[in-house]
Structure 1
Amino acid sequence: MSAPLTQSQIDDILALDAEKRFKYLVKEVVSNREIWILTDEHGCVMLNTDEEDGVPVWPNKEFAELWATGEWEECKAEAISLNKWHSRWTYGLEDDELAVVIFPDQSEEGLVISPEELDFELKQQARK
């Protein structure tokens, strides 16, 4: 687990574009060995677009918690170990034909990729 982020660090990271947030997420997830989602009594939170449904993921607890407002204020940030992500989540999301929404910002902007693509990038980063 990483040290808590300062507000200045959070602001700087949120100012990054979607591609840079993706790179930050990959490095943080591999470094901390965990990825963050939001959950409620029904399971994990989903984002829906015209084309597909996806599970939003964040690199740190602080960013996931920033989303737990409004209609999601009852949600809790939950860490998933990197091992569990590789062994269960990647295949489960693919089987359910769900995408992964990478580190969406407050305006719901984030890269939408396949679970397999995220898994590949995480494994590439782990080899470095």
Structure 2
Amino acid sequence: MSTPLDPQLFTTISQYDIDKRYKYLIKEVVKTQLIWILTDEHGCVMLNTDDEDCVPVWPNKEFAQAWATGDWESCKAKEIDLKKWHSHWTHGLEDDELAIVVFPNLEEDGLVVYPDELDYELKVQAKKARNHQKR
């Protein structure tokens, strides 16, 4: 279960640029062991860029749920355990030739990465966190 995000912190983080949101997502996902997507009756919500079909991911329920407006108002934020992400989602997205748009803001601005890139960054951050705890 994740801790609700303070509204003031939500506003502050929402104003981060792409790179800072990416770094926040990596650290937050490793800390909480959860990554968030949006789903509807058809499955996972998808976004399209000029070059890629993408699955958007968020670091907290509140950011994912903030996207559930307009055409997506029936969507629900869904948490995915980080272990399940590593074991199922990364390979599944690669097999389906899908990219990931990391922590898009409400203007649909987010960094597009490949599943193996995100997986690698999450594992590097987890190793850093474990090393930091040993000190």
Consecutive unaligned residues of structure 2, counting only runs of 5 or more, are: 129-135
Superposition deviation, residue 39 in structure 1: 0.2
Give the ranges of 4+ consecutive aligned residues of structure 1 lying more than 2 Å apart after TM superposition.
none
TM-score (structure 2 length as normaliser): 0.93
TM-score (structure 1 length as normaliser): 0.98
Alignment of 1:32-47 (within 5 A): 32-47=32-47
Consecutive unaligned residues of structure 1, counting only runs of 5 or more, are: none
Match of 2:18 in 1: 18
**Take 1:36 and 1:29, find their aligned partners in 2: how far apart are those partners?**
9
Question: Secondary structure in 1 aligned to 2:50?
Answer: coil
Tell me which structure has the larger Cα radius of gyration. 2
- Identity level (%): 66
Match of 2:68 in 1: 68
**Take 2:116 and 2:110, find their aligned partners in 1: how far apart are those partners?**
17
Q: CA RMSD in A?
A: 0.6
**Take 1:86 and 1:4, find their aligned partners in 2: how far apart are those partners?**
24
Superposition deviation, residue 7 in structure 1: 1.3
Question: Secondary structure in 1 aligned to 2:2?
Answer: coil
Alignment of 1:36-115 (within 5 A): 36-115=36-115
**Take 2:50 and 2:28, find their aligned partners in 1: how far apart are those partners?**
30
Give CA-to-partner distance per residue, 1:17-71, whole Å, 9 cap, x none.
0000000000000000010000000000000111110000000000000000000
**Take 2:35 and 2:53, find their aligned partners in 1: how far apart are those partners?**
19
